[in-house]
Structure 1
Amino acid sequence: MRVGYARVSTAEQKTGLQTDALTGAGCERIFEETASGAQRDRPELMKALEFLREGDVLVVWKLDRLARSLRQLIETVEDMQTRGIGFISITEGIDTTSAGGKLVFHIFGALAEFEREMIQERTKAGLKAAKGRGQRLGRPAAMTDTQIKMARSMKAAGDLSAAQIAEQLGVSRATLYRHL
């Protein structure tokens, strides 16, 4: 069975163009939704995915109707494939029920994985370069060296409790103890 999913982002938009194409593609049931593609929680998409059975095919008018990011798209389609469900995107001509469609989709997946790895490499290189320039990485220190010296001298004087010293320095007791 071919099952369609149509989505528009705002109430002013209509799904007519998509539903016409989905009906023309042989969809017997169409789930329609008004929701941003960036939202992960889309009730009609969830209903459509739950409705699908092994051997069925989910059909969308365009890839961006199913997912906003390539990662989200790949995760959704891979989940369907493990359940024996095909996927068709009319506009892009992708059909995972055919060998050529599977190839195109796997190329998309490989490109997405490549992109993730490139981002990781650039991030690591940037952190290494910053560290090499002596830049301190991570969260800023809660206490300056001056505050630590003041705290030590206040504690040595013995006139104030740890809570009072922390309050005067504007830090928590835990932070004070960590630096002492």
Structure 2
Amino acid sequence: MKKYVIYTRVSTQEQGKSGLGLAAQERDIDIYLNQFSDQPFEVIGRFQDILSGADDERPELEAALKLVRKTGAELLISKLDRLSRKVSFIAALMEDKKVTLRVASMPYGTPFQLHIYAALAEQEREFISARTKAALQSAKGRGVKLGGLRDKTNARNKASKAKADKFASTVLPLVQKLRDSGETLQAIADALNAADKPSPRGGKWTSTTVKRVLARA
């Protein structure tokens, strides 16, 4: 029977508390175990770190690897970047003869393919970082005040909210009267559509649109 040690990672304490990202990792791992494992299996350990992908000091990963080396089990992760974002770290692990790595999202990936994938992903991250810095430097060279862009966005958001509030006030008396008489949100939407009253965005009314108008009261 094949043995697996499962390792998952999320990058912040908040993700760890809320479960963000973990459900997707566990889903991919379950798919691999149930559809791609080539023989009956047993999961002998589960480990999880809540640390940045740039941090190689991970106590739970070290514990998982210790169990893998001791038992001959395979280390199973959902995606390669859950292990590390550094190709050097991944390459060193692949050279460890006592560690067999399985990536759920790449069920047929060979060690060579995984190494190439890690290298390409690292290059892409470096390029994105360089491109972002170049764009900011170019904008600065043209005299663009980067902080001013945020101010303009905030101003647009405030203007949009004021416009929505003003529109809501014009239909609110009718909507509130219908609601107070016991009409459902959908019934109110149907009445407004029958009266050819456009919604805030100029389209048809829905129960959700009516609910939003009431919320602005």
Normalised to the residue count of structure 1, the TM-score between the two structures is 0.50
Question: With structure 2 as the length reference, what TM-score do the two structures score?
Answer: 0.42
